[in-house]
Amino acid sequence: MKKLTLPLTKEDVLSLHAGDAVSLSGVVLTARDCAHKRIFEYLDRGEKLPFELKNATIYYAGPCPAKPGMASGSCGPTTSARMESFAPRLFDLGLNSTIGKGEMSDEVSASLVRNKAVYFAAVGGAGALYGKNILKSECIAFADLLSEAVHRLEIKDFPVVVAMDAYGESVYKK
């Protein structure tokens, strides 16, 4: 399996094709329904976000609480389709990859092509496996949203599949 370290470079992104199995390590930011709504409120007010989106990777996930002695609780992907109305604007602002599960819209695909970005699918329902591969977790914004807050995760060897690539190809349409 191909191994990549986040943040991805443009060369990394362009080397990926829908259907490739990849192992990801590095830093991701978690954000799901409520966090995206909050991010858009910041953007609409013209305020600076409390974290950097440029070249970042957003993981559509809301973890379980960590047991004592562990960095994170179970933390698999949530359904990405609920975030597809938000994703294009964030890719346009410099986000270069997202991780979730399930197909995203043609508008998202177009924004991946336009921005040379990539959408990975983690395996839904494999939360323990992903949670165990989180080395460090820190809440960096919107703590009041509890499991929906934005967490900065250091991940190691996340097994994912390239779901939708920078060439407009999709594993869901092959």
Partner 1 sequence: MRTIDTKTIEETLYKMALKAGVSLTESCVAAIENAKTNETCPPCKFALETILENRRVAAENGMPVCQDTGLAVVLMEIGQDICLTGAPLKKSVDEGIRRAYADGYFRKSVCDPLTRVNTGDNTPAVLHTEIVEGDKVTITLLPKGFGSENMSRLYMLTPAKGVKGIIDSVVETVKLAGSRPCPPVYVGVGIGGSFDTCAFLAKKALTREVGTSNPRSDVAEIERECLKRINELKIGAQGFKGDVTALGVSCEIAPTHIAGLPVAVNIQCHCIRMQKEIL
Binding stretches for partner 1 (CB under 8 A): 19, 21, 33-34, 61-67, 70, 73-76, 78-79, 81, 101-103, 121, 123-129, 131-132, 145-148, 159, 161, 171-172, 174
What does DSSP assign to residue 71? S
Q: In the complex, what is the shortest distance from the CB of residue 52 to partner 1, in angstroms, rounded to a whole number?
A: 25
Nearer CB in complex with partner 1: 63/88: 63
Separation between Cα atoms, residue 7 and residue 116, nearest integer Å = 14
Nearer to partner 1, 7 or 33 (CB): 33
Strand partners, 67: none
> Which two three-digit tokens encode residue 60?
């559509």
Q: How far is the CB of 164 from partner 1 (least distance, A)?
A: 11
Closer CB to partner 1, 93 or 126, in the complex: 126
**36 is a catalytic site residue:** yes
Whole-number Cα distances in Å, 146 to 32, 65, 122, 140, 142: 11, 9, 22, 12, 8
Choice between 13 and 148, CB closer to partner 1: 148
The catalytically annotated residue of 36, 38, 101, 151 is 36
Q: Quick check: 169 and 18 in contact, CB under 8 A? A: yes
Nearest distance from residue 27's CB to partner 1, in Å? 19
- Report how far Cα 41 is from the mean position of its chain's Cα atoms: 20
Residue ranges of alpha helices (H) inside 76-134 are: 87-92, 106-115, 127-132
| Count of other CB atoms within 10 angstroms of residue 60 | 26
| Residues carrying an active site annotation | 36
